[in-house]
Amino acid sequence: MIKHQGGCHCGNVRYTTNYDPMLVMACHCKTCDKMLGVGTAVSAIFSEEEVIFEGELKRYSVLGSSGNQLHYDFCGNCGNNIATYPLLIDGIVYMHIGSFDNPMAFTPKVEIWNKTKPEWFKSEGCIVESFEDNGSLERIQLLMENMDQRQ
């Protein structure tokens, strides 16, 4: 059963997933700001095989603030940035929540790179873990714990 779906602005790219995300995360890093054109990027994290894409995505790869490579996948027509694959955590995809048909379904629980967090970002108590940098080890641990709970 489809739990969440979304797509790019022009409709060339659509995706569905039968799962809830393992974790929803806010990233305040400079790379996401630039790549997504936002002040704070919020992503729903899934296992790669849990998200089924239709349509053609283009890829732009960058060296992230953590020194690890990130692949940003976007629609070649409208330029909507849909997903990020962090090479730091193999087999994981970050789906940018703005492209879901119902972005309101997701609330970030973790934030990373809070040292470059904008002044105006207030979490209203939803953030339970906050890391100054990419907090990778702790984050992977959180992912693993949440994955266990989903089974």
Residues lying near Zn ion in the complex (CB under 5 A) are found at: 8, 10, 12, 27, 29, 32, 75, 77-78
Distance, CA of 136 to CA of 134 (rounded, Å): 5
- Tell me whether residue 22 or residue 36 sits nearer to Zn ion (CB atom): 36
- Tell me whether residue 29 or residue 110 sits nearer to Zn ion (CB atom): 29
- Tell me whether residue 32 or residue 42 sits nearer to Zn ion (CB atom): 32
Residue 27 Cβ, how far from Zn ion at the closest point, in Å?
3
Residue 109 Cβ, how far from Zn ion at the closest point, in Å?
16
- Tell me whether residue 22 or residue 112 sits nearer to Zn ion (CB atom): 112
Residue 107 Cβ, how far from Zn ion at the closest point, in Å?
18
Query: Assign residue 136 a region: left if phi > 0, alpha if psi is -120 to 50, beta otherwise?
Result: alpha
Cβ-defined contacts of 115-121 (< 8 Å, 24+): 115/28, 116/28, 116/29, 116/30, 117/28, 117/40, 118/28, 118/39, 118/40, 120/39, 121/26, 121/28, 121/39, 121/40
Residue 80 Cβ, how far from Zn ion at the closest point, in Å?
5
Q: DSSP code of 95?
A: E
